[in-house]
Amino acid sequence: MKTKRIIALLLVAVMMLALCACGKKEKKTVYAVEAGSAGEEVAKEKGYEINSVDSQAKALMEVKAGTSDAAIIDSLMAGAMVGAGTSYPDLKITDQKLTEELYGIGCRKGSDLASFINEVLYTTYESGEMQKIAETYGVQAALIKQEACTANVEADGDVAYIQDKGTLIVGITDFAPMDYQNENGEWIGFDADMAKIVAEKLGVAIEFVEIEWNNKVFELDGKGIDVVWNGMTLTDAVKTAMECTVAYCNNAQVVITK
């Protein structure tokens, strides 16, 4: 009789433990992503729990602080910012590559500036100048060969508008190795240096303006900026909303953890 009672008590205990286990919710991994980025887009597609912040640099800060479990950022930025000898030596790039992408440059819909930039991309690639700049920032392996093209500039187009006002305004975020500030507060990086060449070819000064990435189309259409040049992934949404250049760099979305 005593043995039966012990067995019954054990069965009750096992059932209670099972019920407790069923009642526990598995903690979801929270991914920090930049609002409006390709990383946010792929995270939403996969149904991930996300924490949207205003830059990819902030996404890395979230992981470092422990307020997010992982970040989804561009592979080119990850290579410059994550791992030994970088700003985030305690973070790592996982083997999880979520997408394969192409970088392009965005202008106002219908703008002839995209055609002008395409010609500059081609001539700098052919001369080797683009490759030298890429080597400075460690992105040479990501470059895409540029095909021959000629700018189709209109008399009353964006190129004439920019030349008339005397300044090319470039919309960017703080995004090494593409656009970031040196110790003197000057904007440098692969994209920044290439944009400076375009401004020189236009015969105008250059101005870099930090924007909310989610508002890039509004900034363009409102003429707050003339071009988005910041490691921008050529998604269908981007190509619909902007006049985009040809692709100039390969990229991917990767997962970063502690």
What's 11-26 look like in SS3?
A: HHHHHHHHHHHHHCCC
Question: How many C-alpha atoms does 7 have within 13 Å on its Cβ side?
Answer: 4
Question: How many C-alpha atoms does 42 have within 13 Å on its Cβ side?
Answer: 22
Q: Is the dihedral of CA 177, 179, 181, 182 positive or negative?
A: positive
Share of the chain above pLDDT 70, in %: 90
pLDDT over threshold 70, residue 10: no
- Read out DSSP for 135-164? HHHT-GGGB-PPPP------TTSHHHHHHH
What is the rounded average pLDDT for all residues in the chain? 92
pLDDT score, position 27: 79
Scanning the structure block, which residue is given the tokens 């707050």?
224
Q: Compute the distance between CA of residue 235 and CA of residue 214 in angstroms, rounded to an integer.
A: 14
Q: Compute the distance between CA of residue 131 and CA of residue 201 in angstroms, rounded to an integer.
A: 18
pLDDT over threshold 60, residue 1: no
Q: Cα separations (Å) of 126 from 129, 149, 176?
A: 8, 11, 25
pLDDT over threshold 80, residue 8: no
pLDDT score, position 103: 97
Average pLDDT for 87-110 = 95
Question: How many C-alpha atoms does 208 have within 13 Å on its Cβ side?
Answer: 22
Q: Compute the distance between CA of residue 117 and CA of residue 203 in angstroms, rounded to an integer.
A: 13
pLDDT score, position 40: 94
Q: Is the peptide bond before 89 cis (omega within 30 degrees of 0)?
A: no
Average pLDDT for 144-150 = 97
pLDDT tens digits for 11-45? 655 566 655 555 555 779 999 999 999 999 999 99
Q: Which residues contact 6 (CB under 8 A, 6 or more apart)?
A: none
pLDDT tens digits for 156-166? 999 999 999 99
Instruction: Output the six-digit token pair for 223.
Output: 């003429």
Q: Compute the distance between CA of residue 149 and CA of residue 153 in angstroms, rounded to an integer.
A: 12
Q: Cα separations (Å) of 28 from 67, 68, 156?
A: 13, 11, 54
pLDDT tens digits for 179-236? 999 999 999 999 999 999 999 999 999 999 999 999 999 999 999 999 999 999 999 9
Q: Compute the distance between CA of residue 180 and CA of residue 252 in angstroms, rounded to an integer.
A: 20
pLDDT score, position 89: 95
Share of the chain above pLDDT 90, in %: 84
